[in-house]
Amino acid sequence: MYDELEGKQVVQEDDAAIQQPIIRQMVVQLRAMDSYGTYDTWSDARVLDPLVLTKERRRAIPVVGDPDETTLSRVRAYYNAIAQMLERETGLLAVPVINISHEGFGRALILVGKLVALDKTLRDVHRFGFASLDALIAEAEKSLVQAAGMVSEHRAVAEL
C-alpha cells in the first residue's frame, strides 16, 4: 500500500484534487468494493494512495507480472467511476465491461445501450496507476469527453 522505498503515503490529505468529481467517484467505487471493511478507518487520501505510482514505486514493480485482485479492483473502480460520470452527463445507463487475462492484458469497454462508447486496450495491468491524482483526472476526463462525444454522435444507438 505504501511506498516501500520512501516509507510514506504520497497522496496528501489536503490535496485539492481529492475534491474533483472523478476522484470523489473513485473513492466511492473503491470503498464499495471493500467487502472486508479495510477502508472503513482509512482517509480518502490513503484509499487513493496506491493509485499513484511515483517513479520509485513504478521501478519496484516488475516489468513482467500477473495482476493481483487488489490491482484488478482498482482497474474496475476506475472504469466504474468513468461509467458513472458518463451516466450523469448523458442521462443514459453506462455499463463498464472489463475482461483481463491472468497475465494482465485485456479490454475495458463502456457500453451505453447498444453503443460501445469507450474501448480501451489494457496492457501490463499489474502496473496500473498514474503519476499523480492530477494525471488520473486528466486521463479520466479525456476518456469521458471521448465517450460522451460518441454518445452524442450516436444517441439513437445509445438509446436502444
pLDDT tens digits along 96-132: 999 999 888 999 999 999 999 999 999 988 889 999 9
Residue 68 in domain: yes
Indicate whether this model's pTM tops 0.95: no
Q: How many of the other CB atoms lie within 10 Å of CB of 86? A: 25
pLDDT at residue 119 in the model: 96
Q: Tell me the residue ranges of DSSP E strands in 70-130.
A: 94-100, 106-112, 115-122
For the segment 140-156, the average pLDDT, to the nearest whole number, is 95
Domain holding 142, by residue range, is 16-158
Residue 74 in domain: yes
The total number of structural domains in the chain stands at 1
Residue 37 in domain: yes
Residue 61 belongs to domain with CATH number: 1.10.3100.20
Q: How many of the other CB atoms lie within 10 Å of CB of 128? A: 20
pLDDT at residue 7 in the model: 58
| pLDDT tier for residue 3 given thresholds of 50, 70 and 90 | very low
